[in-house]
Structure 1
Amino acid sequence: MSGSTSSRSALVVGAGIGGLTAALALSRTRWRVTVLERAPELDEVGAGLSIWPRAWRILGDLGIADRLVDGTRPAIQAGLRRPDGRWLAKVRAEASGRTPVMVHRARLHSALVGALEEREDVEVRTGVTVTGLAGLDAHGPADLVVAADGIRSVIRNELHQREDVRYAGYTAYRGVTAEPVPGEASTTGGETWGSGVRFGCAPLVDGRTYWFVTANRPAGENSGDHHADVTALVGDWHEPIPQLLAATPPSAVIRGDICDLRLPLRRFDHGRVALLGDAAHATTPNLGQGACAAIEDAAVLAAQLAGHARIDSALVAYDRIRRPATQRLVRASRLVGVLGQVDNGPVVAARDAGLAGVGAIAGLVSR
């Protein structure tokens, strides 16, 4: 209800997917929201992400889904392959309510920003560096603080008095083709697992293709030429991998070490402060659920606040609902990464033989 009188105020720290979704969900339940973002401009970087059905329904309720998809989504041939192209598990991921919608992260971010700009009860302040809870007083009194400041959250570290980030042992390269790629690339997704290296791809709703490569590396190792790195790693693997790499501008390839939070996860609620998204439960990307988990956090948080008279009681309920679910996600994703990044020859052969005999694995990796 744009223009409605809001009786409660919230500060949201971080204008990523989770923070913006939380701001929108809160504003639609009569909260006045101020979003604080460190970057000088609202400009999301990244590549593709998968939005699974629960998160998609939430985006639909918030009026975001219709801003993301034009036309119909094609059926995709997906599954798990070896570098030589032999399928270990194969499924046909029909465009239905049971499969994810693949969008560019910047597209979702832009849709959320656009929705917030239409509301009179939300203000986004850029160029604001938050160094701790005490510094938030400068931005006015608030009944609620939502810490959505990412995996390196300064607010989480202040509350827990420790650094919980764990390096998973591998790095990831991500890219998106400059234009739609014809042929097999337009209808094929899934992953290819080698020895200590994985490749995955999926067509986006705009016709382009998102891809990623993971490789076992020491933390921080960086040659500076990401496109050359991925070409050396998977450039001689099966089609359409070489075709996709060739269709991706070198400047469009990004790289980042893969990290998650140590288990068990700490509490998401601290008085009037709620941790959300990666600040609460950063996970490895192996299940394609990171953005979805943040979106679901936002919906549950807004619902609990609307259903409880006391904010602290609402946050206790939010923690009780979301922490067990996201802890299972962090653990499951970590285990898939361990399996996918095996680099011992005999173990890789045994893994592939086992995967080939278990068709159900296709449902896990065909995202």
Structure 2
Amino acid sequence: MATAVVIGGGVGGLTAGLALRLKGWDVTVLERAPALENVGSGLAVSPNGLRALDTVGLGDPVRELARVQGAAGLRKADGRWLSRTSQERARLRYGDGVVLLLRRVLVDLLADRLGQANIRLDTEVTGLDPESGTVETEAGTLRADLVVAADGIRSGTRRQLFPGHPEPVYSGVTAWRGLLRRPEGVTVHSAESWGAGLVFGTHQLADDLVYFYATDLAAPGGRAADERAELLRRFGNWHRPIPAMLDAVDPGAILRNDVYYLATPLPRLHQGRVALLGDAAHPMTPNLGQGACQAVEDAVVLAHHAGGDLADYTEARLGRTAEIVRRSMAICRATKIRNPVAIGLRDLGMRVAGRFSADLMLRAMDSVLDWRPPAPAGPSSGRAPTGRA
């Protein structure tokens, strides 16, 4: 039986482990934290991500546990709509809409289906030989036919495989995320509101939970003593229900992180017996909502090619993910505009486009959302992969 070691127990790593196990591989997932990811934030899974999850048998469980996104769109800071679309149109176009759930729910589903026996927590990787597939840990040495590097945006594996390649760069914005119970009498739309360099997004999740996120221009590394007060300072005079949500959220439930992305794509996503996926391979800004979806896509495509040449995995994924990184950052740049004249032109363009065609937002996303996975997971040849450059 072919063996695989997955470095990293996030969404991408767990999906890769499950997809490979369904192909007949003996899988071990190594996670350096003492517990799997339990981040208090929401997650949007779009049609392409749901199709990828279908190949590992988790598409329907996610659909059942998630809340289907309703009408969605863009607003101004004063609440006026710039453009809107409906989930009915999305389902007609792509066969699925966007579903919303807690990130930890997806992590738990993946871990339960993979099996706890295949996951080693509190295990730090201390060395890696990409040619032999030898993985060193403090607990001992593992040898694998395939090593999957899903070790995140600051991936040590990426640095080892591609020394000297430019690191992820700061996008210029910092981001906040938060969860709260929906305040009584408040209606929450799936919407993103844009101001002068500021963004505030809201989503209604299941069980009356509300997920929000916000971004603003800031120097990297900044932190506030009270992040809720910081958000109120920036967004307290925006349209309803944003102020009410910020008044109601527990300050301890607010997360803040600076947003980085890989401006220069890697030359390839593999070397030797090692394949990179997710944020280790192509960190992106969150503006297209595709970070987790692209990691899941990576995972099922990698499992499809794992019994053959890893160059086929690179060929299937590198161009697509590089383009999504580029498009996501292009939207990020549009949100960063502060010049009043430029903001007026930006908003006018979106409003006119929205009125011209209600489906324009959807059509612009066809190349992202209409992706189709390779054949469903099934027994593979069990051969160790090769890795021509």
The normalised TM-score by structure 2 is 0.84
* Residue 171 (structure 1) aligned with residue 174 (structure 2): yes
Counterpart of 1:292 in structure 2 is 293
Question: By how many angstroms is 1:50 displaced?
Answer: 1.1
Alignment of 1:142-181 (within 5 A): 142-162=144-164, 163-177=166-180, 179-181=181-183
Deviates more, 1:131-140 or 1:258-267: 131-140
Conserved? CA contact 1:276–1:298, under 8 Å = yes
Q: Can you list the C-alpha shifts for 1:61-120, whole angstroms capped at 9, x where unaligned?
A: 3232343344784562321111111111122333844421111111111111111227xx
- Gap regions ≥5 residues in structure 2: 370-389
* Residue 329 (structure 1) aligned with residue 328 (structure 2): no
Partner Cα distance (2:152, 2:25) in 1: 23
Partner Cα distance (1:209, 1:148) in 2: 29
* Residue 8 (structure 1) aligned with residue 9 (structure 2): no
Counterpart of 1:305 in structure 2 is 306
SS of equivalent residue, structure 1 residue 281: coil
Conserved? CA contact 1:355–1:361, under 8 Å = no
Counterparts in 2 of 1:361 and 1:248: CA distance versus 1, 3 Å: farther
Partner Cα distance (1:269, 1:38) in 2: 22
Question: By how many angstroms is 1:316 displaced?
Answer: 0.5
Counterpart of 2:265 in structure 1 is 264
Counterpart of 1:109 in structure 2 is 107
- Gap regions ≥5 residues in structure 1: 1-6
The normalised TM-score by structure 1 is 0.89
SS of equivalent residue, structure 1 residue 89: strand
Alignment of 1:214-293 (within 5 A): 214-293=215-294
Conserved? CA contact 2:196–2:336, under 8 Å = yes
Counterpart of 1:3 in structure 2 is none
* Residue 90 (structure 1) aligned with residue 92 (structure 2): no
Counterpart of 2:350 in structure 1 is 355
Conserved? CA contact 1:197–1:215, under 8 Å = yes
Conserved? CA contact 1:192–1:198, under 8 Å = yes
Partner Cα distance (2:280, 2:156) in 1: 9
2:24 to 24, 27, 30: 30
Question: By how many angstroms is 1:133 displaced?
Answer: 1.2
SS of equivalent residue, structure 2 residue 281: helix
SS of equivalent residue, structure 1 residue 139: strand
Question: By how many angstroms is 1:265 displaced?
Answer: 2.9
Amino acid in the other structure paired with 1:227: R
Question: By how many angstroms is 1:329 displaced?
Answer: 0.3
Partner Cα distance (2:152, 2:69) in 1: 34
Question: By how many angstroms is 1:147 displaced?
Answer: 0.3
Counterparts in 2 of 1:72 and 1:279: CA distance versus 1, 3 Å: closer
Counterpart of 2:135 in structure 1 is 136
Deviates more, 1:21-30 or 1:59-68: 59-68
Partner Cα distance (1:172, 1:26) in 2: 34
Matched-pair identity in %: 41
Partner Cα distance (2:329, 2:194) in 1: 16
SS of equivalent residue, structure 1 residue 81: strand
* Residue 342 (structure 1) aligned with residue 342 (structure 2): no
Question: By how many angstroms is 1:209 displaced?
Answer: 1.7
Deviates more, 1:247-256 or 1:203-212: 203-212
Question: By how many angstroms is 1:225 displaced?
Answer: 1.6
Partner Cα distance (1:151, 1:335) in 2: 20
Conserved? CA contact 2:37–2:104, under 8 Å = yes
Number of residue-to-residue matches in the alignment? 349
Q: CA RMSD in A?
A: 2.2
Question: By how many angstroms is 1:291 displaced?
Answer: 0.2
Amino acid in the other structure paired with 2:141: H
Question: By how many angstroms is 1:262 displaced?
Answer: 2.2
SS of equivalent residue, structure 2 residue 306: helix
Amino acid in the other structure paired with 1:296: E
Alignment of 1:70-89 (within 5 A): 70=64, 73=67, 76-89=70-83
Q: Can you list the C-alpha shifts for 1:214-262, whole angstroms capped at 9, x where unaligned?
A: 0000010111321111111112111111222233211111000000112
